[in-house]
Amino acid sequence: MPAFTQFLIVANVGIFLLQLTGGGGLVQWFALWPGDGYGLASLPLLTPWQLVTYSFLHGNLMHLAFNMFALWMFGTELERVWGARRLATAYFASVVTGAVAHLLVAGAFGGGGDPVIGASAGVFGLLLAYALLFPNRRIMLLIPPIPMPARVFVLLYAVLELVLGVTGRQSGVAHFAHLGGLFGGWWVYRFGRSGPRRWRG
């Protein structure tokens, strides 16, 4: 497994273990909490690190497992093509754009008082970048087990996230964070540097 993808998975698993051993303060300090107000005022201006740190926290083992599986699946391929530096840029750009999208939408329409945790926005950004690089690569859905081209998979997934986000049919999921993560992946695909580089650290 490439170095940066491995680092992300190990870091996420390690922090989840800290949560299990009584790290309740981690959510209080490092989850994504909206600020007071609406629009830009909903951003956590006094705790800006939360725009990134929320992505290392997870609600339960299944939440962690699905995100880490997707991170391994798409991050490994992208890092081999892009190199670690560009992959890291895409991942964290997606994490941040996902956080901002969620907070702006929640601040505009209310209901933004609950904290957000999870690596899903970063994973969605990598998923879009993967589909742009390998549009015809087959991806197998888990439920139901239907193979489809990556570009079709991402398009259907994005439409589903938009519908669920607008209708509110699936509560407890930050759908607009997922959609915001897609933008971060696209931005780095479009404007990022293309040369593969090694990640050190």
Per-residue pLDDT for the chain (201 aa), expressed as one digit of tens each?
A: 899 999 999 999 999 999 888 766 888 889 998 765 555 555 676 788 999 999 999 989 999 999 999 999 999 999 999 999 999 999 999 999 999 998 888 777 765 567 899 999 999 999 999 999 999 998 876 666 788 898 998 998 888 888 887 776 666 678 889 999 999 999 999 887 654 444 333
Q: Are 71 and 92 in contact (CB under 8 A)?
A: no
Coil, strand or helix at 53: helix
**Identity of the residue numbered 181:** G
Structural domains in the chain, sorted by start: 3-191 (1.20.1540.10)
pLDDT for the residue numbered 198: 43
Number of helical (H) and strand (E) elements in the chain, helices listed first: 8, 2
How far from 197 is each of 42, 64, 77, 82, 193, CA to CA, in Å? 36, 28, 14, 7, 10
pLDDT at residue number 139:
83
* Contact of 72 with 130, CB cutoff 8 Å: no
